[in-house]
């Protein structure tokens, strides 16, 4: 399985992937927000997120980024390993434009998948730690934690 989709499962918790029907991880879902009229243009999201990432972790292996305007009800994003493609879905079917910081959160999540495949050694891991049937390895969580930590440090 080389495709990861980011899917909320219910109103309370968010399972980032459900490809195999298992939710090995969950997150607290943010309260619904009205789309901000001050959101950056969709065309600016990709360059903005790449610039943010460069400040916290310059990737050794480049990736493609598709900021997709097709409205989705459940899927927030995905990483396609064979194409090294990160995809973000910016529109919610009911709520409209997803908040920028929620999109960035999804972006970091998918980048963590990219990094777990392309440079696990950068995170003191010998190899990608994927276990068949489980969407998120320990290495994945270590990488995502490090990315989020660096981003938070940059804000303060
Ligand atoms: Zn994931």
Average pLDDT for consecutive 10-residue bins of the chain (156 residues)? 56 42 48 61 96 96 97 96 97 94 97 95 76 83 95 91
Q: What's the pLDDT at 18?
A: 39
Q: What's the pLDDT at 19?
A: 41
CA–centroid distance, 83 to ligand 1, in Å, is 16
Q: What's the pLDDT at 21?
A: 39
Q: What's the pLDDT at 1?
A: 42
CA–centroid distance, 57 to ligand 1, in Å, is 18
Contact (CB, 8 A) for 16 and 27: yes
| Closest residue by Cα to residue 42 from 83, 98, 123 | 98
Q: What's the pLDDT at 119?
A: 93
Neighbouring-strand partners of residue 68:
89
CA–centroid distance, 128 to ligand 1, in Å, is 14
CA–centroid distance, 85 to ligand 1, in Å, is 13
CA–centroid distance, 34 to ligand 1, in Å, is 26
Residues whose CB is under 5 A from ligand 1 (ion)?
4, 16-17
* Domain positions in the chain: 3-155
CA–centroid distance, 108 to ligand 1, in Å, is 10
Q: What's the pLDDT at 31?
A: 53
Distance CA 69, CA 150 (A): 29
| Closest residue by Cα to residue 124 from 145, 108, 107 | 145
CA–centroid distance, 140 to ligand 1, in Å, is 8
């Amino acid at each position: 399985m080389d495709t990861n989709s980011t899917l909320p499962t219910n109103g309370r918790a968010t399972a980032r992937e459900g490809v195999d029907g298992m939710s090995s991880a969950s997150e607290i879902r943010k309260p619904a927000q009205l789309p901000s009229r001050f959101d950056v243009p969709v065309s600016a999201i990709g360059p903005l997120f790449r610039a943010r990432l460069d400040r916290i972790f310059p990737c050794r292996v480049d990736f493609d980024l598709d900021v997709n305007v097709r409205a989705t009800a459940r899927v927030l994003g995905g990483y396609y390993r064979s194409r090294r493609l990160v995809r973000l879905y910016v529109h919610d079917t009911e709520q409209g434009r997803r908040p920028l910081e929620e999109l960035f959160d999804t972006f970091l999540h998918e980048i963590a998948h990219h990094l777990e495949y392309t440079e696990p050694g950068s995170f003191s891991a010998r190899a990608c730690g994927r276990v068949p049937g489980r969407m998120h390895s320990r290495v994945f969580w270590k990488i995502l934690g490090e990315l989020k930590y660096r981003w938070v440090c940059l804000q303060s």
